[in-house]
Amino acid sequence: MSTHTQAVAKPHPIRKGILTVVLNFICIVFSLTCIFPIIWMFYSSLKEKRVFNADIVGLPKNPTLINYIRILGNSDYHLGESMMNSVRTTGLSIILIVLFSFIVGYILARVRFKLNRPLYVMFLMGMLIPIHSLLVPIYVVFKKCGISDQWYTLLLPYVSFALPMGIFLVEGYVKSIPVSLEEAAAIDGSGFSYTLWHIILPICKPILVTVAIIQIFSCWNEFSFALVLMKNVHLQTVPLALTQFKGQFASDYPKQMAAMLITMSPIVVLYFVFSKQIIEGMVAGAVKG
Amino acid sequence: MLNSIKPKGRTVFLYLLVPVVFFVFTVFVPLVTAFVYSFFEWKGGPKKTFIGIDNYVQLFHDATFWQSFGHNIYLVIACLIGQIGIAFIMVMIVNSKVVKLKGIHRTFGFFPSTISAVCLGLIWNMIYHNQYGIINWFLRLIGRDDLCKVWLNEPKLVMLLVSIPLIWQYIGYYMVIILSAISSIDTEIFESAEIDGANGVQRALYITLPLIKNTMLVCITLCVAGNMKAFDNIFVMTKGGPGTASMVMAMYGYQISFNQSNMGYGSCISVGIFVLAMLVIGGSQALVKLLTREKEA
């Protein structure tokens, strides 16, 4: 707050005071509504069902971990299993997305060949295609090829749908690197692959991190394709497991909340530890993509 | 061009092969398949009968499909106003000099958009629940038991009720995008406007808004595209019900294809979603460009 602008605007001190209080109040209310649900879920998950049903908003008087113990202790709920599936699917997807985006983005930015522009347009179209119109068709094709309901099934849609944005971010980034760098490398006897992996890759690290950040969240949270493609309860991902959990415990809210918090925990921790980088990455992805 | 930048064709081919095959197989093959199957009567079994454009004729007269398309449009409009409108107002408030804890507001505000739509749908189900929901708890607290109801069973209210979580989830997302656009504007512009006597609202409308036009365009595109594909929330909260009062296109396609296993018609709906979504996204962009151009003239 600079004294210079205050002197110019000269607002009435009381009016300014009220304005300060009101504006801060609005912001605080807004922030609270954004995190209230998760706080409510957290302390409610420490209640037993009976206690919760008697008083849904109050803080727990005798906090208990019984819900967590019951959920994690019973393998019929597949919660641990689905967490592992989500971790594997997300992890592998991210690796492939970053790898493919990097390779294709670099080649499209630098290498001249006849199919360069057609490929570029093809990936551009991938960004425009409303992917939810593919829900049913992908099921049909995957079923026919016998690749639905496998541990690797979800990698295909997750990687493919993330590729266009990744490629464009990398392509734009590579174009900002001076070509002289690669020319110098070539003079020193570096081949295409060596330049790609040892010179360009380290430079592209920031943009690849951005791509990974954006996609971690969308892969972990993706629901509709998992719903359609995965029928095997032992292979289902977290969001899918949660919807089934809801069916089993329609009226046991504390248990549902405990389950949700467990499955959210990796994302929540990741978010609050790296929130600055994540927000920046998401904004970059949204605006440039 | 040196060798390093002009590698052998074979090398490039090998590098591109896997990603391109991956992409074509998952995006374009299903698209073509859907188009082909949309001309067949096919109930998911081995028997497929070619029926020409009958599916499309049926789709054209399918009141439920057009109703769900209307609901998609409803969501788009509600979210354009709700998400981007509220986000813009919040940005103006958060950005004002008197507000403290800007970083916290940004972090907390953005948080809901990182949570899965399934979780949020479940949470909002709890909020709307007739017996254990927070809304009814509040109504009972203030002694208005008569207003308590099974919220998501009200056909007239249900679209509004499912759009509230969607709006709420993404206000912070757009807020952060707009904030970052504004932070790149030179602060001197605001200072000189202030000296010229422009108040907060005037500054927002006549200085900030025109300067971040491109970012707003991005936000609008994201918002339109995002709501044309609405599915997760609806699936978790209402499954399109009561009746078809909150049906959206993706949900309808899913029900026809998997609950009634009418794959032929389901494929036809998929093509319909594809075409309509492209039209709406393209149309909205053209409209926004037209409107902003007029303003400049």
- Which CATH code fits B62-296? 1.10.3720.10
Instruction: Looking at the structure, tell me whether residues A230 and A93 fall in a common domain.
Output: yes
Instruction: Looking at the structure, tell me whether residues A269 and A201 fall in a common domain.
Output: yes
Instruction: Looking at the structure, tell me whether residues A57 and A91 fall in a common domain.
Output: no
Output helix, strand, coil percentages for chain B, rounded to the nearest 5: 75, 0, 25
Map A97-140 to HEC letters: HHHHHHHHHHHHHHCCCCCHHHHHHHHHHHHHCCHHHHHHHHHH
Higher pLDDT, B68 or A47: B68
How far apart CA B22 and CA A101 sit, in angstroms, is 12
Instruction: Looking at the structure, tell me whether residues A21 and A85 fall in a common domain.
Output: no
Give SS3 for A1: coil
Instruction: Looking at the structure, tell me whether residues A155 and A42 fall in a common domain.
Output: no
Select the residue of B7, B107, B273 nearest A133 (Cβ to Cβ): B273
What is the residue extent of each domain of chain B? 62-296
Instruction: Looking at the structure, tell me whether residues A166 and A274 fall in a common domain.
Output: yes
Domain count, chain A: 2
- Residue B147 DSSP symbol: G
CATH of the domain at A139: 1.10.3720.10
Which of B:139-198 have CB within 8 Å of A?
A: 168, 171-173, 176-177, 180-181, 191, 194-195
| Contact at CB, A283 and B16, closer than 8 angstroms | no
Residue A89 backbone dihedrals phi, psi, to 5 degrees? -60, -45
Mean pLDDT over the full length of chain A? 85
Chain B residues with beta carbon closer than 8 angstroms to that of A19: 98
Is pLDDT above 60 for B297? no
Chain B residues with beta carbon closer than 8 angstroms to that of A112: 1, 6
pTM over 0.80: yes
Instruction: Looking at the structure, tell me whether residues A37 and A132 fall in a common domain.
Output: no
Tell me which of A64, A86, A104 is where a domain ends. Answer: A64
Select the residue of B116, B257, B277 nearest A136 (Cβ to Cβ): B257
Instruction: Looking at the structure, tell me whether residues A26 and A76 fall in a common domain.
Output: no
Interface confidence (ipTM) of the complex:
0.84
E-assigned strands of chain B? 40-42, 48-50
Give how far A28 is from chain B: nearest CA, Å.
7
Question: For residue A170, what are the domain limits?
Answer: 71-288
| Tens-place pLDDT, residues B251-263 | 999 998 888 888 8
Instruction: Looking at the structure, tell me whether residues A21 and A93 fall in a common domain.
Output: no
Instruction: Looking at the structure, tell me whether residues A11 and A127 fall in a common domain.
Output: no
A268: number of Cβ within 10 Å: 15
Most distant CA atoms of chain A, gap in Å: 77
- DSSP-assigned states of every residue in B64-127: HHHHHHHHHHHHHHHHIIIIIIHHHHHHHHHHSTT---HHHHHHHHHGGGGS-HHHHHHHHHHH
Token pair of B294, please? 């007029």
Chain A residues with beta carbon closer than 8 angstroms to that of B258: 139, 228
Over residues A106-129, the mean pLDDT reads: 86
Instruction: Looking at the structure, tell me whether residues A35 and A90 fall in a common domain.
Output: no
| Tens-place pLDDT, residues B131-152 | 778 888 888 888 877 777 788 8
Local confidence band at B181 (pLDDT 50, 70, 90 cut-offs): confident
Instruction: Looking at the structure, tell me whether residues A156 and A269 fall in a common domain.
Output: yes
Chain A residues with beta carbon closer than 8 angstroms to that of B271: 133
Tell me which of A49, A64, A79 is where a domain ends. Answer: A64
Token pair of B11, please? 């090398």
A174: number of Cβ within 10 Å: 21
Tell me which of A32, A64, A96 is where a domain ends. Answer: A64
